[in-house]
Amino acid sequence: MDSTTPLSSSPTPKTTTKQENGGKTIQKTASKINCLSPLSPTSPAATANGSSSFMNEGVDGDSVSSTGSGGSSSKRKKHKFQARDYCLVFEEAIKDVECMDIFKSFLKNCSSEEMLEFIQEYDRYEKVYKLKKLSYFVSPLRRRSITSGGSATSGESYHSNVTTTASCVSNVSDLSVDWNQLKQGVVELKESALSIIDTFVSKGSKKEINIGSLQKQSLERFEEINKQILTVDLKSTTSSSQGLETLLNVLDLLNPSILFDGMALAISTDLKFDQFPRFVRSDALFKFLQKKGEKYTRSIAINISQGYEIDIRFKPSDLEDRIIDDKLIYFGFTVMQDTPDWEFVKVTDLYQLQLSKTTYFFDNDKKESGLKLHKTVAIFPFPLQDVWNMVCNPENHFKFDPKGNEDFKVRDYFPPNDPIMKNPYALTEIETEPKFGPFMKRRHLPFILSTFYDHGLQGYIVICRSFNDEPNYPDRIHYEGFNYSIYLPIDDYHCRAIFIDYTDIKLPFSNGTLFEKATYKIYSGAKIKGMLKVMKDLSQDGKKRIEMVGNDERNWNKSVELHKELYPERSWYNEWQRLKKF
């Protein structure tokens, strides 16, 4: 997928290398997310005339631009700092106290400041936990028993990242532990955890975050901590084997990645995909950054004034075969992120519609075509499982998206590791042939799809992508595209759906910005409203749960269950988060 302007998903440019493999060139990015090829046609480091440019910090926080070409002398010119030239990085900004104070003020307008406060308290508690646990053990085993945990914004979870003390040793007597120090530390950690519980988690608390079952699970884990501590004689100055083992178990349970497992990630995700994208475009933020100056701004944001690079892209050949693999899943998470390339085209209480500023092409020989990426973020007042049960029934798709499902056919199904397809995941092969007018050729869209349950996100992922089937339908106009649908829980009664879409149906003037924007607003708005109407009808206006009914012809739920068996508790999102760090 070539681009007319650069688009990036990472705060720093990535270095690319090439390796030869069987006569084919393989490009790799420094991020090690070797999904697709790096793209930087108009990057600041390579201008049209071949010269290189770079930014240096000048006097009084200004910048000076130096440009050189060949042996010519460099020219230095002062650059006046403009806050709107910068884009905030979520992972960096959320660690900055001053910036989060501004964010908190912004959140007060939508009564969501307690979510940010929880994340900040969680991160503080996590740091204290790591320091205290490191100090308890005096044997060489101590560092092996430290949990690496996972910050609230990292996407890590206990199930994939925690090493408990018990797993490091076969007998607690093998550990040399300061009993009194351990007692004191466990009690202090328990009090810190209790403060978070009483403030944000307990029913009826002053800043209760209603997050449903995740909230209930944290309360149950803390109750288990209380029960275990009651069995230990904390007044004793000498340890017993049983008392030591119990306190070590409690220490593990006090790990924030266990005690608040899932809750921190769910809250962070809600902030990241709902309030934060609006905050980074707000006048309040730009005024704050302008006042703080360039040096401060660079510590939490990236300069996008000379373009914004994307490290990975689709090539025309990427939509030729019939494969869905890890790199395609990771690519979905990348394009889902909020970047300067996204602009809001419509915002309502039910949904947000966003369009990429960049135009993308799949056909190298037809540069006159090309479309924007579309992102729709919707909040449904229904439980995640109810929404999933609804979309798994193919009959409902004809109700909320009739045009997208016109002449819909399921052609084949392939289980995971099928010997013919040789794909690691289950695949369903589908085609649709929508009509767009009496004098126009019929369109033909063949595509494959697969579905997953991501344990880290605790949500569902649907991936659809076209493949080349033109030889079998020479009388139709073949068009390409891909779609990512991600369904995430908010609480027991609400969920969020994120749809990323690129579909070039090759209509006349379809690549015009105004036409495309108008069409997207009408189509996506009608689809979201249609989904809401179907759910209201099935639930009788929320009076009953939506059950899993129908034949699951598209194999959405079937594939999810198969992948759960093959990859229990796997999180592709956590894997992608870890890959981003390299």
pLDDT (tens digit per residue) in 512-525: 567 778 888 998 99
What pLDDT does 68 receive? 38
CA distances from 507 to 84, 194, 348, 444, 503 (A): 36, 60, 29, 13, 11
How many C-beta atoms lie closer than 10 Å to residue 411's C-beta?
Answer: 11
Residue 567, pLDDT above cutoff 70: yes
Would you give the distance in Å from CA 431 to the centre of its chain? 28
How many structural domains are present in the chain? 2
Query: Of 270, 303, 327, which closes a domain?
Result: 270
What pLDDT does 152 receive? 59
Residue 541, pLDDT above cutoff 50: yes
Q: Give residue for tokens 């592709």.
A: 572
Given pLDDT bands bounded at 50, 70 and 90, which one contains residue 433? confident
Q: List, for residues 338-359, the tens digit of each pLDDT value.
A: 888 888 999 998 999 998 887 7
| Shared-domain flag, residues 361 and 478 | yes
Is 187 part of a structural domain of the chain?
yes
| Shared-domain flag, residues 112 and 260 | yes
| Shared-domain flag, residues 543 and 468 | yes
Residue 183's domain comprises 92-270
Q: Give residue for tokens 């300067």.
A: 340
Confirm if 154 and 160 have CB atoms less than 8 A apart: no
Given pLDDT bands bounded at 50, 70 and 90, which one contains residue 315? low
Question: If DSSP codes are grouped into helix, strand and coil, which group holds residue 205?
Answer: coil
| Shared-domain flag, residues 224 and 335 | no
Query: Of 237, 270, 303, which closes a domain?
Result: 270
Given pLDDT bands bounded at 50, 70 and 90, which one contains residue 571? very high
Given pLDDT bands bounded at 50, 70 and 90, which one contains residue 319? low
Region 349-370: mean pLDDT is 70
What pLDDT does 317 receive? 54
| Beta bridge pairs of residue 39 | 310
What pLDDT does 51 receive? 27
End-to-end CA distance of the chain: 24
Cα gap 162→150, rounded to integer Å: 9
Instruction: Quote the mean pLDDT of the chain.
Output: 76
| Shared-domain flag, residues 263 and 366 | no
Q: List, for residues 32-45, the tens digit of each pLDDT value.
A: 222 222 222 222 22
Which pair of tokens denotes residue 88?
């905030």
Q: List, for residues 116-143, the tens digit of each pLDDT value.
A: 999 999 999 999 998 887 766 534 344 3
